């Protein structure tokens, strides 16, 4: 055999790698800042928000009909209606003095306040009115058809919990309750560095042997849409001093670093050495996954540094598998889940025993459901393997590939969340 001049001696399983990394890093959400509620969409709550008032603030009719005293209707039936006297009408606001006494009724609309004295609303359908005389054909129970004050949100109760990413309806609740501003976590600043002598900034500079650095723009988009602020560290040659300078800059400017390229074990892979020189704690180097085997997980100045394999599809999968869970914790998101769609494999999805494979698939709709077609096997780091795919399936370490016809969970790429084609 030839000399094993380099190569990973051990590869860490994915789950162990992430667990060890998180245990070493102990990621915590960042500083807290206050934002007006109308600009809080997508931000992560840094506090439990309680209702400062009851909502609704008053007992509200849930139907068009008549506000009554429920007991006045208890024996009502089609053949023997309850007879009541209509003493007024409420549209949006309650006329002063108006109330419902025994044997009385007040006409209300959906959303109207229920006048004092009344404790139920009888639906229009079950009444007949002639002049101020009202026949009620069905009994109503106490508080039937009434949204009571505080029924939506009760004053003092927790409405939204810390760690919640605020959605459209959550912002609506803040506005409804008069919560003018909320405390949220500062967005993590995440520095992005590409390394590689072969890299050029744009297509116009391309020459034989040169490659456009697409990892930076790709990672910056992934970061923004996750809710982080990307910090561009540019490109670096495969040079310890230059990489070191850029990483140090990143550690000053940002809360986390993503470095792509140069993380393997070849002569030009200077990132591991650089991190050692900088005194970083390299927690994991080499993961039993495909693609992105040369993943490097380190902690420097208490900040996560994730070294990703250079090929774009490998960098993307490393982002999904390692960067996202770490960054969500820095964002303050307390728990999360990755949604999927179920599909049947159109053909065998190959993988190797002992390695967790992220097999990219294209979804094809059929009347009976979705088919997942593995993107044709080529270099697993090629960008086309992720542009031609709608998402990916995970082949566990103990499976030697998945078979045609197997049912699989397909995790969709961002935006692909909603669409395929």
269 to 298, contacts with a second copy by CB under 8 A? none
Cβ-based nearer residue to a second copy, 280 or 326: 326
Which of residues 62, 120, 182, 395 is near a second copy by CB under 8 A? 62
Which of residues 8, 30, 35, 42 is near a second copy by CB under 8 A? 42
| Helices 324-331/215-226 angle, 10° precision | 40
**Does residue 414 belong to the site contacting a second copy (CB under 8 A)?**
yes
Which of residues 121, 166, 296, 323 is near a second copy by CB under 8 A? 166
Cβ-based nearer residue to a second copy, 165 or 283: 165
Which of residues 156, 234, 302, 379 is near a second copy by CB under 8 A? 379
**Does residue 36 belong to the site contacting a second copy (CB under 8 A)?**
no
Cβ-based nearer residue to a second copy, 299 or 394: 394
**Does residue 346 belong to the site contacting a second copy (CB under 8 A)?**
no
> Which span (12-20, 97-105, 283-291, 412-420) binds a second copy, by CB under 8 A?
412-420
CA dihedral 128, 134, 138, 144 (to 10 degrees): 110
* Least distance between a second copy and beta carbon 252 (Å): 26
Q: Which of these, 157, 175, 178, lies nearest to 166 by C-alpha position?
A: 175
* Least distance between a second copy and beta carbon 42 (Å): 6
Token pair 């999360």 is at which residue? 336
The footprint of a second copy on residues 106-125 (CB under 8 A) is 109-113, 124-125
* Least distance between a second copy and beta carbon 301 (Å): 28
The footprint of a second copy on residues 238-267 (CB under 8 A) is 264, 266-267
Cβ-based nearer residue to a second copy, 219 or 298: 219
Q: Which of these, 200, 197, 152, 198, lies nearest to 176 by C-alpha position?
A: 152
- Angle among Cα 386, 312, 339 to the nearest 5 degrees reads 45
Is the C-alpha dihedral spanning 144, 145, 149, 155 positive or negative? Answer: positive
**Does residue 366 belong to the site contacting a second copy (CB under 8 A)?**
no
The footprint of a second copy on residues 2-21 (CB under 8 A) is 2-7
**Does residue 339 belong to the site contacting a second copy (CB under 8 A)?**
yes
* Least distance between a second copy and beta carbon 222 (Å): 5
**Does residue 230 belong to the site contacting a second copy (CB under 8 A)?**
no
Q: Which of these, 240, 399, 283, lies nearest to 22 by C-alpha position?
A: 283
Cβ-based nearer residue to a second copy, 301 or 338: 338
Distance, CA of 89 to CA of 364 (rounded, Å): 58
**Does residue 97 belong to the site contacting a second copy (CB under 8 A)?**
no
| Helices 324-331/14-25 angle, 10° precision | 30
Examine residue 112 and say whether the peptide bond preceding it is cis (omega within 30 degrees of 0): no
Which of residues 9, 335, 368, 398 is near a second copy by CB under 8 A? 335
Element (H, E) at 175: helix 168-176
> Which span (12-20, 22-30, 92-100, 182-190) binds a second copy, by CB under 8 A?
92-100
> Which span (168-176, 282-290, 349-357, 398-406) binds a second copy, by CB under 8 A?
168-176
Instruction: Please check whether residue 266 is in contact with residue 8, taking contact to mean a CB–CB distance below 8 angstroms.
Output: no
Distance, CA of 328 to CA of 345 (rounded, Å): 31
* Least distance between a second copy and beta carbon 409 (Å): 8
**Does residue 363 belong to the site contacting a second copy (CB under 8 A)?**
yes
* DSSP secondary structure letters along 248-290: HHHHHH-SEEEEES--SSSTT--HHHHHHHTT-EEEEE-BSEE
Report the half-sphere exposure of 310 (CA within 13 A, side-chain side). 22
Q: Which of these, 345, 251, 338, 359, lies nearest to 298 by C-alpha position?
A: 251
Distance, CA of 295 to CA of 381 (rounded, Å): 13
**Does residue 347 belong to the site contacting a second copy (CB under 8 A)?**
no
The footprint of a second copy on residues 315-334 (CB under 8 A) is 316, 328, 333-334
Instruction: Please check whether residue 243 is in contact with residue 235, taking contact to mean a CB–CB distance below 8 angstroms.
Output: no
């Amino acid at each position: 055999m030839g000399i094993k001049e380099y190569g990973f001696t051990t590869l860490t399983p994915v789950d162990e790698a992430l667990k060890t990394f998180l245990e070493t890093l102990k990621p915590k959400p960042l500083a807290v800042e206050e934002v007006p509620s109308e600009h809080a969409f997508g931000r992560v709550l840094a506090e439990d928000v309680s209702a400062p008032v009851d909502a609704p603030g008053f007992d509200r009719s849930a139907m068009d009909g008549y506000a009554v005293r429920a007991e006045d209707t208890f024996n009502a039936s089609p053949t023997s209606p309850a007879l009541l006297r209509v003493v007024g009408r409420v549209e949006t606001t309650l006329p002063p003095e108006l109330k419902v006494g025994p044997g009385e009724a007040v006409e209300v609309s959906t959303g109207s306040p229920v006048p004092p004295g009344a404790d139920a609303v009888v639906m229009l359908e079950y009444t007949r009115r002639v002049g101020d005389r009202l026949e009620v054909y069905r009994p109503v129970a106490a508080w039937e058809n009434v949204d009571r004050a505080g029924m939506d949100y009760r004053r003092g109760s927790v409405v939204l919990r810390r760690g919640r990413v605020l959605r459209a309806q959550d912002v609506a609740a803040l506005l409804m309750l008069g919560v003018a501003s909320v405390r949220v976590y500062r967005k993590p600043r995440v520095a992005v560095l590409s390394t590689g002598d072969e890299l050029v900034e744009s297509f116009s500079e391309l020459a034989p042997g040169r490659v456009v650095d697409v990892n930076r723009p790709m990672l910056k988009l992934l970061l923004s849409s996750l809710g982080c602020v990307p910090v561009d560290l540019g490109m670096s040659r495969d040079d310890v001093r230059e990489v070191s300078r850029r990483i140090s800059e990143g550690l000053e400017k940002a809360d986390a670093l993503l470095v792509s390229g140069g993380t393997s074990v070849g002569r030009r892979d200077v990132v591991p050495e650089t991190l050692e020189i900088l005194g970083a704690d390299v927690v994991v180097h080499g993961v039993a996954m495909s693609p992105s085997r040369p993943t490097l997980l380190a902690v420097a100045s208490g900040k996560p540094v994730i070294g990703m394999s250079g090929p774009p599809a490998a960098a993307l999968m490393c982002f999904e598998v390692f960067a996202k869970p770490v960054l969500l914790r820095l964002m303050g998101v307390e728990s999360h889940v990755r949604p999927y769609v179920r599909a049947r494999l159109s053909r065998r999805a190959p993988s190797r025993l002992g390695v967790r494979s992220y097999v990219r698939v294209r979804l094809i709709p059929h009347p009976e459901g979705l088919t997942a077609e593995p993107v044709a096997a080529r270099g697993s780091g090629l960008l086309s393997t992720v542009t031609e795919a709608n998402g990916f399936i995970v082949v566990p370490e103990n499976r030697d590939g998945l078979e045609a016809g197997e049912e699989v969970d397909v995790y969709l790429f961002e935006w692909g969340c909603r669409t395929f084609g």
